[in-house]
Amino acid sequence: MRRFFLSWAILFVFFSLSLFLALSTGPVRISLFALSARDQSILLNLRLPRALSSFFVGGGLALAGAVFQGLFRNPLADSYLLGISSGASLGAAAALVLGFTSPLAMFTGVSFFSFFGSLLALSLVFYFGSRDGYFSVFRLLLSGLGVGLFFSSLVAVLMIMAEEELKALIFFFMGGFSSASWETAWLAIAFVPICVLIAFYYARELNVLLLGEETALSSGVSTKRIQAIYAVLAAFLTSVSVSVAGLIGFVGLIIPHMVRMAFGADHRILLPFTFLLGGTFLVLCDTIAKMVLAPSELPIGVVTSLFGVPIFLYLLKKERGEYDL
């Protein structure tokens, strides 16, 4: 118990430091202890919505990764690697190019089609990645790779068709928060916490699922219902993240694995820690993306990939199909 509270305290300090850096660094240096009128405008209208967007997107992506890993009982599952993010980006790109938007585009057209694309990708991965109800990690990775490449090719076709929407489509491929505003921030603030609460509410049932479907059924858990709830929840989190920040990879792979190594696979602990650490991690990555080539910015997907690819290769080398509580 003492270790648990100490971990929360360390994570809170880590989050506070990352938020301080995100708000104070950028093309214009700001001292948070002596704000001028110009500094207040920059802080409230640009940096605060950007920091909040990156926190909730990072937390949402990490939570989606933890959910997929729990459903498939494998630490290599992730919305980016499984092609779910590519499906979400295809839906968002189709909404932009075909004009299925409105003055509240981030809340209606783009987000709706992004969610539809993520569900379509998830369905295809489930279909091609399973055999007799069993999910092989390599079948999942291969089916996710195929679905992701196919949807990315369709996005490339839409980019050729696009005119003034081309800049927005490039944004979805590169990923980042340079265009973050209160409109995009409110999308993440409104929906991601609801998903966190739903995920935590069913955490005990997800723990039982790790023991196998037969054990879960004998314990009174409706496996199909829980699997459907979590699959749709993870797809929705991915679509919200893509709507706000475009394609950002490996957050859902790195963070749940780190938390699992520290605290085990009990989702009552894993899910809240994963959300908070994922949000903090992406805030730091966004700060790094702003600082490395200042005043220009690195795409945040480049920063997360530099962390994520080595960890992914390590997990792929060590994976034995084990996923125990």
> CA 140, CA 125: separation in Å to the nearest integer?
7
Identify whether 31 is part of a domain: no
- The mean pLDDT of the chain is 82
Interval 72-91: pLDDT, tens? 877 777 888 888 988 988 88
117: in domain: yes
First to last CA, the chain: 18
Could you report the per-residue pLDDT of 238-275, keeping only the tens digit for each? 988 888 888 888 898 889 988 888 888 889 999 999 99
Task: Output the CA torsion 129→199→259→285 (10° steps).
Answer: 90
Burial of 204 (0-12, 13-18, 19+ CB in 10 A): middle
Bridge partners (DSSP) of residue 130 are: 135
- Would residue 34 count as lying in a domain? no
For CA atoms 212, 218, 221, 224, the dihedral sign is positive
What domain range is 104 assigned to? 50-316
Could you write out the three-class secondary structure of 132-185?
Answer: CCEECHHHHHHHHHHHHHHHHHHHHHHHHHCCCCHHHHHHHHHCCCCCCCHHHH
Q: Would 25 be classed as within a structural domain?
A: no
For residue range 101-122, list pLDDT tens digits in order: 554 444 566 778 888 999 999 8
Name the residue with higher pLDDT: 234 or 108. 234
- Which residues on adjacent β-strands are paired with residue 185? none
User: Are 78 and 238 spatial neighbours (Cβ–Cβ below 8 Å)?
Assistant: no
Q: How many domains does the chain have?
A: 1
The answer to whether residue 43 sits within a structural domain is: no
* Closest CA relative to residue 291, chosen from 54, 20, 16, 21: 21
Within a domain: residue 82?
yes
pLDDT (tens digit, 9 = 90+) per residue, 1-38? 677 678 788 888 989 999 998 888 877 778 777 778 88
- In tens, the pLDDT along 298-309 reads 888 888 888 878
Q: Is residue 194 part of a domain?
A: yes
**Rounded alpha-carbon distances, angstroms, from residue 23 to 135, 280, 293, 299:** 43, 13, 18, 18
CATH number of the domain bearing residue 302: 1.10.3470.10
Burial class from Cβ neighbours inside 10 Å (0-12, 13-18, 19+) for residue 119 reads buried
Residue 102's pLDDT is 54
Q: Which of 49-58, 74-83, 218-227 has the highest mean pLDDT?
A: 49-58
- Number of H helices and E strands in the chain, helices first, is 14, 2
Residue 42 inside a domain? The answer is no
